[in-house]
Amino acid sequence: MSDSFDIIVIGGGTAGYPAAIRASQLGMSVACIERRPTLGGTCLNVGCIPSKALLHSTEIFAEVSEGLEEHGIGIGGVALNLRQMIGRKDEVVDGLTKGVEHLLKKNTVEWVKGSARFEASDRLAIDLVEGGTRTLTASKGILVATGSDVARLPGIDIDEERIVSNTGALSLNKVPEHLVVIGGGYIGLELGCVWRRLGAKVTVIEFLENIVPSMDREIARHLLKLLKQQGLDFRFETKVTGVEKRDADLLISVEPAKGGATETLDADVVLVAVGRKPYTEGLGLDRMGITLDPKGRIPVELGFKTAVSGIYAIGDVIAGPMLAHKTTLDGVRCVEGIAGRYPGVDYNTVPAVIYTSPEVASVGKTEEELKAAGIDYKSGTFPFLANSRARCNGDTRGLTKLLADAKTDRLLGAHIIGPDAGTMIHEAVLAMEYGGTTEDIALTTHAHPTLPESLKEAALVLLGQGMHI
């Protein structure tokens, strides 16, 4: 077993393992360092995959419980088996983590189980999970792909039982009577929806005045309205100052974000979902001469190069959206750059999806960003209420919105709230990747009746040619 490699990747998550596989495909010898007992990182183990499994299961439960009457389907005696639902989620995760392990073996990537720390720009000491230390060297580069960790609030200790992060919220052994979610972002909204569908009272507390501040405001207003209709309560411009554990419940202290009188809320579970922070603890980056930015991220230049030759950084530890597919893009482009290929990336064409019901998907600029930049733009929207397939399916919530340059018609942004938005957004992503226009979308023949027709219709509206509204 060699201790010398071309590439060493620290981290086996959605940035690390694709980077390792791609490096191997390009003819390099590769080691991947991961201390978890399973590969796949946060996304696969305690993030996007298990949460989507539960979101799907709970959406089925909600639909069967209360949403089939209009279709002429009556079902009695619907019962929840939470243990089985959680077990199915675990089976999905287990199958996929084993799949990643197989892919590393298939691509001759050595998985070294342990924690890494730099001894030199080309050398790592690995504290092995099984005990002992192993020293590895890399001739072409070491990639830091250690991901991110839960952002914490001062004075609130997460125990993953009553005060939980996303990890604990995915494995509760009973449905909470009252779940308080601290944070109105992606994680908080998705997991809030999971437990609301199963019967919990859910209160979302957000420090800012809106949910998901990065979202196009028109879309955010629609989402907030629909979530309220589903029974979620919201407290905006509110600060959580403490959580006190009592015998049977939790006492949450809150006050206005701008200051004011304190009040208390009772709950039996609190979910802390105020974001994530880069994880670089224990790597010894400071000893290598790498200084983190004010947000704890590793600064990189073109090609994901750090300030130290031979050390690269990818994924959640660098600037950019903390999305699994973005981190995979980083990893692949990084090793392709090391191999002499063009390493550039365009984060403007990276889509984002919130898997609530309905889903919200976006790519490119929001209206607010275009206005702030002084860009002259046109917009076109089309409601699913006017989409034939949405009417057939009985789900007409939401709309499709396109934004284009007023002079060139080049597509600048797309925002969808509605059924299967996460799938439909990719037509807009592809158009933007190729510098397409809304006219290109309008001239593309879409099958009828389908949900993606809403993109064509929104493009026609933007061009002043709308026919169905």
Residue bearing tokens 């997460």: 158
Closest CA to 31 of 45, 10, 54: 10
146 is in an annotated binding site: yes
325 is in an annotated binding site: yes
Closest CA to 54 of 95, 97, 93, 86: 86
227 is in an annotated binding site: no
Residue by residue, DSSP assigns 29-88 as -EEEE--SSSSSHHHHHHSHHHHHHHHHHHHHHHHHHHS-GGGT---------HHHHHHH
322 is in an annotated binding site: yes
147 is in an annotated binding site: yes
183 is in an annotated binding site: yes
367 is in an annotated binding site: no
Closest CA to 23 of 104, 125, 134, 126: 104
φ, ψ (nearest 5 deg) of residue 359:
-70, 155
288 is in an annotated binding site: no
Closest CA to 166 of 87, 65, 250, 276: 276
Amino acid at 276: R
188 is in an annotated binding site: yes
Starting at the earlier edge strand, list the strands of the sheet with 377-383.
352-354, 359-364, 411-418, 399-405, 377-383
190 is in an annotated binding site: yes
Q: Which of 56, 178, 426, 448 is catalytic?
A: 448
Is 448 considered catalytic here?
yes
132 is in an annotated binding site: no
362 is in an annotated binding site: no
| CB proximity list for 43: less than 8 A, separation 6 or greater | 13, 14, 49, 324
Tokens of residue 26, six digits: 């390009």
Rounded CA-CA distance 123/141 in Å is 10
189 is in an annotated binding site: yes
Residue bearing tokens 């001739």: 139
Closest CA to 400 of 196, 220, 219, 129: 219
Q: Which residues are annotated as a binding site for FAD?
A: 52, 146-148, 316, 322-325
Binding-site residues for NAD(+): 183-190, 206, 275
What amino acid positions are annotated as catalytic residues? 448
Q: Which residues are annotated as a binding site?
A: 52, 146-148, 183-190, 206, 275, 316, 322-325
